[in-house]
Structure 1
Amino acid sequence: MPHHEDNPVPLGSSDLCFDSRSFTKEHFSVDEFLQEHRNRANLEAMRDDLGMYLKVLRTAMIDLINKDYADFVDLSSNLIGLDVGISRIQVPLGQLREELIHVKQSLEGAMNEVNNQLAIRRELRDRKRSLRSLSRVHSSLKKLRALLTQGDNQGTPAGPLILERATSEYVQLLFHTKKCQKDLKDNDSKEFEQVDSLLIAGVNKLFLQSIHSGEEGRNGLHQCLSFYHTLNRLDSAENLYRKKIVAPVMQKLINQNSLKSLPGGLPALYGRIIDFIDGEMKILMDVTQKFNSLICDCKCNFLLRSFWPEVEERIETELSPIFAAGDPDVFYKRYKDTLNFLEILSERCGSQKGILELHSHPNFLSFMEKWNLPVYFQLRFQEIVRQIEKSFASEEWAAKRADWKLLASETAWDCLLRCWEDDVFLLPIAHKFWKLSLQIISRYVVWSKKVISNVDGKKKTDLNFLVCLYTDVESLNRKLPEIETLSKSKIPRVNDETSSLLKRSLEEMRTELDRLLEEMNEAIVKTLCAENAAYLQQVNNIPRLFRRTNREAPTKPLPYVISILDGPISFFQSYQHHPKSRFWLQTMFSRMTKQYYSSVDDVLNSVKKTEESLRRLKKARDKSSNVVTSNDQRVGDDNKIRQQLLVDVHAYLAGVESLGLKKGSVEQLAELLLLVGASQTQ
């Protein structure tokens, strides 16, 4: 193939509206190219320049083809006659291939023969080794039987030295037994089992003897553990200790009669069980701990595999009534006593790893599942809910303590605290108690809203109840962070995520209480306004008091003004120290003033229309005759109406200001004054 250096792409002329090197960029984009050059030239000019550059590229391509044409022609001429040469060497290559195949077959046959001979030799060698091991097995069995029956013939158990020799010989026996497994006869297997039983029995006797020897048996215990470990039979030691030592003691201790006879009840029984660990098991546990530290791969644990399974099974079978949750108070005490017992038991494990092994033990998991915590919580739930609902339905609504106004609020708070009391709260179901706390708050909000909706606004007791409820809701909202603090003190090691979730859920409840306070503000104001709605209707009756009655010009406000102010004044006197009293009164007067303004405006408009009608009527009569009509008297009556409205509004203003409210803080009060003031000049 012809080869030439890479020819660079030719550049366009400098008068083009773009740089031709832009097309050779690695990440060329048409959109970016047009965006970049749109301000230099319009599309028609760019099209013409691109056409010129295309001609340059075509010319460069033709030059390149012409330059390499000679090389292509030379290459094709060199290939003439190549097929003849290929045909000439095909026959020799075929013969060579057949010879290589024949040689390969000969080598494979030789290799198969060699492999067969090697396999026969390997089989003979294995057979010879197996027979040698079989001979050693017979010798070891004979030697072991002599060693292990020596003590029995003398009437005493085999000593540590004999057991040490026997154990070493037994290990050799195991090794050779595996080597001659195919050549073993049934008699050999039976004899092996007999020797195995004799050896384990001997170690077991020494182990039990050392257990009962107290301090003097420490060395014997260490030797026995070494024997068991060498024989890979530590589980036999653990089972033996459970059956011969732990089971008899626990059988006498863990039963209903023992539980009833102990003065301290269940805690005393648990104390006796712990005393067994600290007493009879202490030496064994000390020796086991030292032995495990010396032998890296040893995990002997009599507490976990001998003591605990026996204790747990005895408690489950003999003391099953302690798991009953019928009486939540009794259940709580038994459960807490059990947790204290398990905590002490965990301390006896000696290490964090030992504690984890205990807590993950199948018997431990089964034991904890026996405590029916969901049933316990359901009983507590019913107990607390029943108390709350009773307070909601009670006709006696006054609280018993000074820090609350209503019995329902006091009960709700007490029930919130009850969820986290020491004789109620249990850590494994902390999430349920937290949910119950939120449900109590939510139920209190629902009850409060129902109370608000049932208030008719016509009774003073309703208003008093609403103010008390508002005060309690405000207090509850302020106290809720105490529940968060209390819950965190009861739940150890709360991570940041859990803490954030607790805080967020409680904030949602506080938001609900804030909304409830807004609804209660509205309910209190409506109740205040409802008492005075009927009095404001009397404003429309003022014209009838003066028209054609010859009453004197008014100097005192009408009784309806006094009636309107009586309720707010009484409310202020009762609740003047309440931080929201002025807000409620201000809101109430703002709404009432709007209605008052509307009524006064209607009366003044009516008076004005009457005056205009009388004026037109007077003009018509004056034209027809010279008789003086009584219109002047009717005009005087209208002025008295305006004067009465002015006196009433000023009395109303004085009443508002007597409650400590400023004129500008009550909506439309200033406009009302201007309205009645302006009417006097009409």
Structure 2
Amino acid sequence: MAAVATATDLFGDPIEAHPTWFTPAAFLSSDFSPSSYISSLRSYVPLETLATELRSHLTSLNSDLIDLVNRDYADFVGLGSRLAGAGDAAARIRAPLAELRSKVAALRGAAATQLVELRAGMERRAATAASRELLERMLDTFHVVSKVEKLVKELPTAPSDLSGAEVGSVATDGTLQNLESGNSSRITQSVLLERIASEMNRLKFYIGDKKNLPFIENMEKRIQAATSLLDNSLEQCFVQGLEHRDNNAIYNCLRAYAAVDNTSAAEGLFRKTVVSPLIQDIIAYSGSNQSEAVATVSSDELEGDYQRIMQFVEKDCKFILELSSSANSGLHVFDFLANSILKEVLSAIQKGKPGAFSPGKPTEFLKNYKSSLAFLAFLEGYCPTKAAVVRFRSETVYADFMRQWNVGVYFSLRFQEIAGTLDSSLTGPIKPIESREETQKLLLKQSIQLLESLKTCWSDDVLVFSHCDKFLRLSLQLLSRYSTWLSTGLAARRDHSGDADWAISAPVEDFVYVFHDVSVLISEFSGDFIGHVTQLLSNCSDEVVQLVRESIAQASQLLQQLLPVILDIMIESIVEKSVEDLSQLKGIRATYRVTNKLPVRHSPYVSAILRPLKVFLEGEQLAYLTKEATHNLLSGSAEKITNHYYERASDLVHATRKTESSLQRLRQGAQRRVGASSDASDNNISETEKICMQLFLDIQEYGRNLAGIGINAAEIPSYRSLWQCVAPEEKQSVIAF
């Protein structure tokens, strides 16, 4: 193929038929991707330009193709003539292929026929095998039944009990021989029973899913007879082993019971033979088979009974508990703790002491409940592993035993008792108790009852640990009830209205006791009380203990918020009495209105202003306030009294000055109308000045009285304002008295 001439420009350089960004050679690449090619160009080439360039390139390719066909036209036309024999060749190839297809179809049909026959043969073989298996099982069943019947017939020939011989020859040399013979016979019989039991277990496996077969139905009576005889013989041998404490015979019998999956029978026999007679001797009830009648009716207390029962378990039941829990014995399927001992104890209590479960007597109920928990813990001590403990607690009788103790009703009764006692104490007036112990820090019966109620909730004689969340809630409710009672009373005292008569009628001195008790309670809740509670909850997680601490602290915070309110009420009561004497300020104006005399000493009312506060401070109850509380009371009272003093004195001065100013203007107007001179009146001391002079003498005495009770008057803002109001100009800069 001849090379295509390349167009050149005027200077002989080739003319580019396409832009520099368009490379037709990229289309010939084996990994050419149109989408990738367009994506790489569209960022700087518009799609319309790209489409135009592609169409131009397509036109160029079509033109080149036509040129090539025209150039090699002879070869192009001769291309069809070279394929003239292609049809014959195809026909020759088609014939062998058709023959091969027919052979394959025939082979496939033969294989399908063989497969059907093979499947049919396999089904017949499976049916034959099943029939053979069934026949073998039937034969095995027949052999096992025959073997069991043969072994069962040997049972009566084995000596089972030589107790009579033992009793009759205790003092002879043959006694030991008789005892050894009796033990040997029991062991022999127990071994034979264990063997029969294993065969019966194998028999149950054989007939497990074939009970509807006629062959099995025909043998049903033989199987039942053998089973009944085995049960009776096994029961007799097990009971004799228990009576003679023959561990070998008991071990073999237990293995036999385990083999036939009849553990409940062994547990029931042990309960009936060993446990029941001894429990009935401890807890007598009507219908019990006791050798001696119980003349007196015992109380519902269980602690002593449990002690005797635990001694009995340790003495008479330990052997079988250890035997059934021994390693590699296969006897772990038995649960004598629950189904023999605990079941009999529960039955005896229900029949002999039903009142022990009654929460109507909370103290006795709690004592019995805790004794029962200790007894269960004692029984769990015989469980060798944690898994055994879990299995013991999952037994039905364990749940039934725990269900007898209605702790919810017990808590309800305790709730009514504790909350009712506190409510009763909150109905009376607040008075300090006359006779109290030296260690008793609280003064009011309400506060004492609150602390006693809270301690009762967490005492060993009341608290049930499994319901400690309810007792915590009760404690918080008691705190809330006391806080509500106190806050309601304080609000009624402040507003002089409400239902809290104790707070309205109580003298101010009694609120010292209230303040003292609240302070002591707050200290108790953050000290000994919370320490006792957290000690009881020491087995709980740190998160639980922290939540309990926070809840009690939050409840006591309500009391903390009431301390300033109590202090304010005492201050208001003192101030209210002190303000009554300030009403005498009005007499100062009347005294100096129509006289020219000047004040020379303080007014008598000044000494009475602080008298209520001094009386309060001299009272015996002040000993129950802390130094900080006393200082706050003293400074708060002094400040509020001074505020009232300043308000009334400033009102008096301003009113007098205003009246005097009005009279002065009227007087000057009248003098101007008559032409009189006002020089004489200007030299007189005004009424306002005389009142200020008297008030200045009064506040100096008042300041000395404040200093007498430990208050620096100059530190009170209202006193400084009062000094500025009435003091002469030359003395206003320094407060001195």
In the superposition, the TM-score normalised over structure 2's length comes to 0.75
Report the secondary structure of 1:423's partner residue. Answer: coil
Structure 1 residue 381 and structure 2 residue 415: aligned? yes
Residues 526 and 66 (structure 1), Cα distance of their counterparts in 2 relative to 1, 3 Å cut: farther
Per the alignment, residue 319 of structure 2 pairs with 283
Q: Quick one: which amino acid aligns to residue 658 of structure 1?
A: G
Which of 483, 493, 516 is 1:471 aligned to?
516
Going from structure 1 to structure 2, the CA distance change for 1:341 and 1:169 (only over 3 Å counts) comes to closer
Change (3 A) 1:299 1:590: same
SS at match of 1:393: coil
| Contact residue 194 and residue 256 of structure 2 kept, 8 A | yes
Residue 434 (structure 1) aligned with residue 463 (structure 2): no
Structure 2 residue aligned with 1:594: 643
The answer for the alignment partner of 1:197 in structure 2 is 228
Aligned to 2:387: 353
Q: Return 169-178 or 356-365, whichever deviates more.
A: 169-178
**More displaced stretch, 275-284 vs 265-274:** 265-274
**Larger radius of gyration between Structure 1 and Structure 2:** 2
Alignment partners' CA distance in 2, 1:252 and 1:101: 94
The correspondence of residues 281-360 of structure 1 with structure 2, limited to 5 A, is 281-290=317-326, 293-295=327-329, 298-360=332-394
Q: Does 1:534 pair with 2:618?
A: no
- Letter of the structure 1 residue corresponding to residue 558 of structure 2: E
The residue that corresponds to 1:507 in the other structure is 553
Letter in 2 for 1:599: R
Number of positions where the alignment pairs a residue of Structure 1 with one of Structure 2 = 631
Q: Is the 8 A contact 1:129 1:179 kept in 2?
A: no
Q: Are 1:232 and 2:261 matched, yes or no?
A: yes
Superposed, which structure 2 residues align to 1:153-302 within 5 Å? 153=157, 156=160, 159-174=189-204, 176-177=206-207, 182=213, 184-214=215-245, 217-256=246-285, 265-290=301-326, 293-295=327-329, 298-302=332-336
Q: Would the alpha carbon gap of residues 98 and 531 (structure 1) be closer, same or farther in structure 2, given more than 3 Å must change? A: farther
State the Cα deviation string for residues 167-210 of structure 1 (Å, max 9, x = none).
45445544554697636243312112222222333333322222
Between the aligned partners of 2:585 and 2:730, the Cα distance in structure 1 is 17
Q: Distance in 1 between matches of 2:610 and 2:505?
A: 15
Superposed CA offset, 1:1-36 (max 9, x none)? 9655579999xxxxxxxxxxxx99xxxxxxxxxxxx
* Corresponding letter in the other structure for 2:131: R
Deviates more, 1:177-186 or 1:296-305: 177-186
Residues 657 and 191 of structure 1, relative CA distance in 2, 3 Å threshold: same
1:425 is paired with a residue whose SS is: coil
Aligned to 1:280, what secondary structure does the other structure show? helix
- Structure 1 counterpart of 2:717: 667
Mean Cα displacement is larger for which, 629-638 or 385-394?
629-638
* Deviations 1:64-94 (CA, angstroms, capped at 9, x unpaired): 88789999999xx9xxx9xx99xx99x9999
Structure 1 residue ranges without an equivalent (≥5): 11-22, 25-50
Amino-acid identity (%): 23
Deviation of the 1:276 alpha carbon: 2.7
How far residue 543 of structure 1 moved from its aligned partner, in angstroms, is 1.1
- 1:471 positional shift: 1.3
Partners of 2:412 and 2:707 in 1: CA distance: 57
Query: In terms of mean alpha carbon deviation, does 530-539 or 426-435 score higher?
Result: 530-539
Q: What is the one-letter code of the residue matched to 1:376?
A: Y
CA distance in 2, matches of 1:179, 1:508: 68
Distance 1:554 1:613 in 2: 24
Q: Distance in 2 between matches of 1:614 and 1:168?
A: 132
Q: Secondary structure of the equivalent of 2:127?
A: helix
Query: Given that residues 198 and 256 in structure 2 are in contact (C-alpha distance below 8 angstroms), is that contact kept between their aligned partners in structure 1?
Result: no
Counterpart-to-counterpart distance in 2, 1:192 and 1:160: 20
1:676 is aligned to 726
Contact 1:614-1:631 at 8 Å conserved across structures:
no
TM-aligned CA deviation for residue 212 of structure 1: 1.6
Residue 473 of structure 1: CA displacement?
0.8
CA distance in 2, matches of 1:171, 1:213: 28
Are 2:399 and 1:365 aligned?
yes
Q: Give 1:233 shift.
A: 3.3
Q: Distance in 2 between matches of 1:625 and 1:538?
A: 41
The question of whether the paired residues in 2 share the 8 Å contact of 1:255 and 1:318 is answered with yes
CA contact under 8 A between 2:518 and 2:563: conserved in structure 1?
A: yes
Work out whether residues 438 and 509 of structure 1, in 8 Å CA contact, stay in contact via their aligned partners in 2: yes
Matches within 5 A, 1:446-595: 446-455=484-493, 462-481=507-526, 482-550=528-596, 552-574=597-619, 575=622, 578-579=626-627, 580-595=629-644
Return the alpha-carbon distance in structure 2 between the equivalents of residues 530 and 630 of structure 1: 45
Q: Distance in 1 between matches of 2:608 and 2:486?
A: 31
Q: Distance in 2 between matches of 1:110 and 1:428?
A: 76
- Structure 2 residue matching 1:299: 3-state secondary structure: coil
Matched letter for residue 271 of structure 2: R
| Alpha carbons 2:321, 2:382 under 8 Å: kept | no
| Aligned match of 2:180 | none
Deviation at 1:670, TM superposition (A): 1.5
Structure 1 residue 553: deviation in Å?
A: 2.0
CA offset digits 1:111-149 (Å, max 9, x no partner): 233222222232223323433443343333233222222
User: Is 1:123–2:127 an aligned residue pair?
Assistant: yes
Q: Distance in 2 between matches of 1:100 and 1:300?
A: 70
State the distance in 1 between where 2:347 and 2:698 align: 90
The corresponding residue for 2:688 is 638
Q: Identify, as 1 or 2, the structure richer in helix.
A: 1
Other-structure match for 2:144: 140
Q: Per-residue deviation at 1:334?
A: 2.2
Q: 1:584 to 1:4 in 2, by over 3 A?
A: farther
Contact 2:276–2:344 (CA<8 Å) still a contact in 1? yes
Alpha-carbon spacing, 1:512–1:63, altered in 2? closer, same or farther (3 Å): farther
Aligned-residue offset at 1:165: 4.4
1:388-403 matched pairs, under 5 angstroms: 388-395=422-429, 397-399=431-433, 400-401=435-436, 402-403=440-441
**Could you tell me how far 1:617 is from its partner in structure 2?**
4.3
After superposition, the C-alpha distances for 1:212-261 in whole angstroms (9 at most, x for unaligned) are 222xx122222222333333333432233234433344345433576955
**Counterparts of 1:172 and 1:210, CA distance in 2:** 26
The secondary structure found in structure 1 opposite 2:539 is coil
Instruction: State the Cα distance separating 1:472 from its structure 2 match.
Output: 1.0
Distance of 2:342 and 2:364 partners within structure 1: 25
Segments of 5+ residues of structure 2 without an aligned counterpart are 1-26, 70-79, 81-85, 161-185, 287-293, 497-502, 733-737
**Is the contact made by 1:259 and 1:266 (CA closer than 8 Å) also made in structure 2?**
no
Counterpart code for 1:140: V
Which residue is 2:500 aligned to?
Answer: none
